[in-house]
Structure 1
Amino acid sequence: MNGIISINKSQGMTSHDVVYKVRRILHTKKIGHTGTLDPIAEGVLPLTIGQGTKISQFIVEKEKEYVAELSFGTKTDSFDRTGQIIGQADKIITEDELKKTLLLFTGEIEQVPPIYSAIKVDGKKLYEYAREQIQVEIKARKISIREIELLHFEFPNAKIRVACSKGTYIRSLCNDIGEKLGTFAHMTSLIRTKSGPFHLDKAISLEQLEALSSEEIKQHLYPMDFPLEHLIRVDVQPFSAKYLLNGNPLIQKNIVQNINDIPLCEKVRIYLNDEFKGVGLMENKDYYRIKPLRLFTNQ
């Protein structure tokens, strides 16, 4: 079985818990997830199955969308409701103030990840430093927030929708919003509603998946090229099949389309006899060619 299944993760489970359960349901070990969801979070968690694991990196880098709830007046060490309270404030925030502040977080910004995260510093995960109460410098990282919308506000609680780049910590965003308003805030709930082309209304719960037959499960399996439909398609000439499957760079004589129409440094979808075979990169090494990045030789 090769492809992607979009799981609707429930609260209380780690992403690895989900992978473990799906391995048991599908009777296969080769399963990976495409972006961690904390136990407090729920929603879309695409899982790559079989050879689909080879395209995980291309799903991870896609835009994500979340609906988060935050509460003003309290700061926690984890930036969410699971942490220890480390600060409190009495300042009252108005809806107008919040809307104006949210605008400041759109575009490319720098964000400091929470100490309770799996990011590594000097080979050690940040949450390990936190548990050992060791101070460590956490460097800010560039992220991009395309859109942030206030869905509901009733002080001290607010609900926001965020469309953002990979690597964005919504917990940190909630904390930073509070700081920008001169108070404290922490995240109380989080739902991932979209991960690349995968949407919440099309995701399946573990309970639903477990109740399906093998044939019914296949109906929920997305083909491996589904999350790559935004990439330019190139078709390999049939006589170049062996050349491609050996991992060699492809030049014009190997490709049906005009290779000069493809922008440099652009990733492409590679097909052979109308069958998806992998992902390549358009480059110019003295001549125009497509370098295979990931190939699927046996599907």
Structure 2
Amino acid sequence: MADSGMDGLLVIDKPGLGRELPRAAGVDLSTSHDVVQRVRRCSRQRRIGHTGTLDPMASGVLVLCLGVATRLVEYYQGHDKVYTACVTLGATTDTYDALGEIIARRPVSSLKADAVEDVLARFRGEIAQRPPVYSALKQGGESLHRKARRGEDVIVQARPVTVHRLELLSIEAPDRLWLRVACSAGFYVRSLAYDVGEALGVGGHLSYLRREAAGHFSVADAHPLAAVESAAREGNLASLLLAPGVGLDLPRLLLNGEDARRLGLGQRVWLPFDRVSTLRQAQDTAGSTCQLRTPPGFASALVGGVVQAVDDDGHLLGIVRVLEESTESGGGLLCKAEKWLAPQTHSD
């Protein structure tokens, strides 16, 4: 397959289990890898990567990077997520979700909101969470779910995660809790479902999960997979792409043409403060994005980190690492490109 030349971000609304169809025949339970493969076929773009997996039963935001944007995958990872979830109480499964085998049943008496809220309070803030055994986490170079399916004893250590917000949306009698969760990367809603069920003394599993947001992207930005495939057949797929760099949560450096050219050639470049502006994005009171130039002193906080290099039109040129700061002769930054997207040009 020859590359189509499509470059950019594609925000997919991944299909998954619906609210009222626990395990109906014909439901699309695509894995994140399946989604990548389908987009690869319809776009004729081989270079595609996703920025964070979604379980097969989960629907919602899945951000794909196409073409040159695949160089940015790592910079879109590790962002906070927002989910809507349903926990079905009274039945525990081996995978902690509706796709697993039921391994225990317990009766569920009438659920009181106060009792549920008391339990949820334990899972807010910084907590230690034990991921599911059936997960893509690796141990000894192999995914845990592969070990578990072979019947091996797998010991999973608890990991620190952060729950920024955990809301009880509703109690649906007789046995379902609807929740909204805003959490850090690495948080497993399946584990939350299991832990909440155990804390209530009746067990439970995750029966519905929808990712509402990932980083700066929400379901409002996302396109159903079927719509993406339809757009590709009609030759309109490019209209769904976002420019590489949209939604990157990194400080920005505005470069002139010569500095950009040298960085693109792999050179270390001193960028005097009188030739480069440090930029950050902010939201004005009307909700639109504006650019604020920050004073040179702000740059000291950038040393050792990475920033976006942009041109006068705000187009992303590449990702640059700030190596040093100098205060001599007006001051400046020593930078080197880590991932360069702009075409390399040579001087005459």
TM-score for the superposition, normalised by structure 2: 0.80
Distance 1:284 1:106 in 2: 39
Equivalent positions of 1:186-205 (< 5 A) are 186-205=205-224
Distance 2:112 2:221 in 1: 36
Match in the other structure for 2:307:
268
Checking the alignment, whether the CA contact within 8 Å between 1:66 and 1:193 is kept in structure 2 is: yes
2:243 counterpart letter in structure 1 = P
Q: Which runs of 5+ in 1 are unaligned?
A: none
Q: Which has the larger radius of gyration?
A: 2
Secondary structure at the counterpart of residue 96 of structure 1: helix
Distance 1:291 1:107 in 2: 37
Cα RMSD between the aligned structures? 2.1
Whether 2:23 is the aligned partner of 1:6: answer: no
Match in the other structure for 1:88:
105
1:224 counterpart letter in structure 2 = P
Give the stretch that moved more between structures: 153-162 or 81-90: 81-90
Deviation at 1:285, TM superposition (A): 7.5
Match in the other structure for 1:58:
75
Secondary structure at the counterpart of residue 151 of structure 1: strand
Secondary structure at the counterpart of residue 251 of structure 1: strand
Match in the other structure for 1:123:
141
Deviation at 1:19, TM superposition (A): 0.7
Checking the alignment, whether the CA contact within 8 Å between 2:8 and 2:69 is kept in structure 1 is: yes
Equivalent positions of 1:236-255 (< 5 A) are 236-253=255-272, 255=275
Whether 2:248 is the aligned partner of 1:209: answer: no
Deviation at 1:24, TM superposition (A): 1.1
Secondary structure at the counterpart of residue 316 of structure 2: strand
Match in the other structure for 1:222:
242
Distance 1:110 1:33, change over 3 A: same
Match in the other structure for 1:75:
92
Checking the alignment, whether the CA contact within 8 Å between 2:48 and 2:65 is kept in structure 1 is: yes
2:137 counterpart letter in structure 1 = I
Distance 2:250 2:183 in 1: 20
Equivalent pairs counted in the alignment come to 298
Distance 2:265 2:202 in 1: 59
Deviation at 1:249, TM superposition (A): 3.7
Checking the alignment, whether the CA contact within 8 Å between 1:238 and 1:273 is kept in structure 2 is: no
Match in the other structure for 2:189:
170
Distance 2:59 2:141 in 1: 29
- Post-superposition Cα deviations, 1:222-260, rounded to whole Å, max 9, x if no partner, equal 1111121x4222112322233211233443328512654
1:212 counterpart letter in structure 2 = A
1:2 counterpart letter in structure 2 = D
Give the stretch that moved more between structures: 98-107 or 113-122: 98-107
Distance 1:251 1:158 in 2: 56
Checking the alignment, whether the CA contact within 8 Å between 2:263 and 2:336 is kept in structure 1 is: no
Distance 1:250 1:89 in 2: 65
1:128 counterpart letter in structure 2 = R
Distance 2:163 2:271 in 1: 39
TM-score for the superposition, normalised by structure 1: 0.92
Q: In the alignment, which of 135, 142, 147 is matched to residue 165 of structure 2?
A: 147
Distance 1:188 1:272, change over 3 A: same
Checking the alignment, whether the CA contact within 8 Å between 1:252 and 1:259 is kept in structure 2 is: no
Distance 1:58 1:6 in 2: 16
Checking the alignment, whether the CA contact within 8 Å between 1:150 and 1:161 is kept in structure 2 is: yes
Q: In the alignment, which of 100, 112, 116 is matched to residue 130 of structure 2?
A: 112
Secondary structure at the counterpart of residue 39 of structure 1: coil
Checking the alignment, whether the CA contact within 8 Å between 2:59 and 2:210 is kept in structure 1 is: yes
Report sequence identity in percent. 34
Distance 1:144 1:249, change over 3 A: farther
